[in-house]
């Protein structure tokens, strides 16, 4: 059924790079045989899913969304692909990403938002968010370096989990920024994100950044049991006027759930926006060979702020600036740890100034959930930030919020 839906709607949404039809048949038949033999791998057994096309899957191209790598293949599956396969999940498609994990434009076009088909799905986990929102897959795996789970989850009205840096192995995934890249699930609900994180987390002896930390998620946890902060300046900020009514309503819901909200502010005495130089320099290093070759001209996007020109500029970044930026980053990480010291979860409008840059630099986890709809029918979101390796608490509060609201149960009518 899911393969048929992907064939029917994939072109309309421009969210599919490759259907893994033969593999899906093999995996689904294996899942059926195992069930008949009394072998049940858990709640993901037989569930169809889609992989952002920066994850290696043996036997299929891994294009990274751009023509220079359109025929690229790898011999080994990415660790998350292996782990989901071992859990009985059925991979049905490799889904689109903006070229080399930027935006929603890939070599085949622009991935669309199922809620508004003349609008892109945002990036760069564009295909995973679009396909999940449209019900073309049960869930998907995306990645985030600087907003690539958060932005499309917001645009497409799905639930995204950006785990702590070092929670999930990136072995077999495209490297954009070695010190910032993170893999995580995009789902319909918080509960699904928790189920998937439990499967894909932990060491694999391939990605040396992975840290073995407990994940003690409890779906019965109440808001009143958690220490909850909220970024007051972000909720008050005029730049968030487009979502202010939704943001204010969210605080009211949390208070009704018994949450005692504490005013908290993100570290502000640092040049947060300027820290993007770290991503740009590392991305330039990751694609140094491409930048020096003629193949970079084959990339679809060539405008000033697209990767080709960013890679070229990164060739001129002084090592001193990169090192000093990381020194500031270390101070920001320390300040963020101090900010989170006395709370379990921090609630913020997703669009809060510098929130995405800061928390991607510090590596803190985030849960992004739908939080209402604009007049044109497009979704808005709310974000729950956790301590380092504090995904459980962030998910617990987000689930309590979802249980008290119905935003995540709404689906685009054209794909019902």
pLDDT tens per residue, range 57-79: 999 999 999 999 999 999 999 99
- Chain segment 307-323, per-residue pLDDT in tens: 999 999 999 999 999 99
Would you state the pLDDT for residue 86?
Answer: 98
Cβ-based burial of 416 (10 A; exposed 0-12, middle 13-18, buried ≥19): exposed
What CA–CA distances, in Å, run from 173 to 31, 80, 120, 137? 26, 9, 24, 20
Average of pLDDT values for 24-31? Answer: 97
User: Is cis: bond before 124, omega within 30 of 0?
Assistant: yes
Ramachandran quadrant class, 328 (left: phi over 0; alpha: psi -120 to 50; beta: rest): alpha
Buried b (16+ CB within 10 A) or exposed e, 364-390: bbbbbbbbbeeeeeebbbbbbbbbbbb
C-alpha triplet 346, 351, 354: angle, nearest 5° = 80
Catalytic residue from among 121, 122, 124, 150: 124
- Chain segment 243-295, per-residue pLDDT in tens: 999 999 999 999 999 999 999 999 999 999 999 999 999 999 999 999 999 99
Catalytic residue from among 148, 177, 310, 381: 148
- Chain segment 378-409, per-residue pLDDT in tens: 999 999 999 999 999 999 999 999 999 999 99
User: Residues 272, 326, 126, 313: is their CA dihedral positive or negative?
Assistant: positive
Residue 136 CA, chain-centre distance (Å), reads 18
Residue 363 half-sphere exposure toward CB, CA atoms < 13 A: 20
Active site residue 148: yes
CB neighbourhood size of 221 (10 A): 18
Catalytic residue from among 52, 94, 116, 182: 52
CB neighbourhood size of 405 (10 A): 17
Q: Which two tokens stand for residue 265?
A: 């502010």
CA distance 238 to 244: 8
Active site residue 124: yes
User: Residues 273, 274, 275, 276: is their CA dihedral positive or negative?
Assistant: positive
Q: Would you place residue 33 in the very low, low, confident or very high pLDDT band (cuts 50, 70, 90)?
A: very high
Q: What is the CA radius of gyration of the chain?
A: 20
């Amino acid at each position: 059924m899911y393969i048929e839906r992907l064939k029917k709607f994939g072109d309309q949404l421009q969210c599919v790079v490759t259907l893994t039809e033969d593999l899906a048949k093999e995996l689904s038949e294996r899942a059926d045989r195992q069930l008949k033999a009394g072998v049940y791998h858990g709640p993901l057994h037989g569930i169809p899913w889609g992989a952002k096309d920066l994850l290696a899957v043996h036997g299929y191209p891994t294009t990274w969304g751009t023509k220079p790598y359109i025929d690229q293949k790898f011999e080994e599956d990415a660790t998350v692909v292996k782990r989901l396969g071992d859990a009985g999940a059925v991979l049905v498609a490799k889904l689109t990403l903006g070229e080399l994990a930027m935006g929603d434009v890939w070599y085949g076009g622009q991935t669309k938002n199922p809620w508004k088909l003349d609008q892109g799905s945002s990036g760069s986990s564009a295909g995973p968010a679009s396909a999940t929102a449209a019900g073309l897959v049960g869930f998907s795996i995306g990645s985030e370096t600087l907003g690539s789970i958060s932005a499309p989850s917001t645009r497409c009205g799905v639930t995204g989990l950006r785990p702590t840096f070092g929670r999930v192995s990136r072995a077999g995934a495209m490297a954009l920024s070695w010190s910032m890249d993170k893999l995580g699930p995009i789902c319909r609900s918080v509960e699904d994100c928790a189920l998937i994180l439990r499967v894909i987390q932990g060491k694999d002896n391939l990605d040396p950044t992975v840290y073995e930390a407990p994940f003690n998620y409890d779906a019965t946890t109440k808001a009143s049991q958690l220490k909850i902060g909220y970024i007051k300046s972000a909720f008050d900020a005029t730049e968030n006027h487009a979502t202010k009514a939704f943001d204010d309503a969210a605080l009211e819901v949390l208070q009704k759930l018994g949450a005692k909200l504490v005013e908290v502010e993100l570290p502000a005495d640092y040049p947060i926006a300027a820290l993007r130089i770290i991503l740009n320099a590392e991305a330039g290093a990751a694609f140094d060979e491409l930048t020096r070759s003629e193949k970079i001209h084959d990339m679809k996007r060539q405008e000033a702020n697209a990767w080709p020109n960013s890679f070229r500029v990164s060739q001129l970044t002084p090592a001193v600036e990169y090192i000093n930026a990381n020194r500031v980053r270390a101070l920001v990480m320390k300040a963020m740890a101090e900010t989170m010291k006395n709370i379990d979860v921090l609630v913020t409008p997703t669009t809060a100034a510098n929130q995405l840059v800061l928390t991607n630099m510090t590596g803190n986890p985030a849960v992004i959930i739908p939080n209402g709809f604009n007049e044109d029918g497009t979704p808005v979101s709310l974000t729950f930030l956790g301590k380092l390796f504090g995904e459980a608490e962030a998910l617990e509060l987000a689930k309590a919020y979802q249980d008290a609201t119905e935003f995540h149960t709404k689906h685009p009518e054209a794909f019902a």
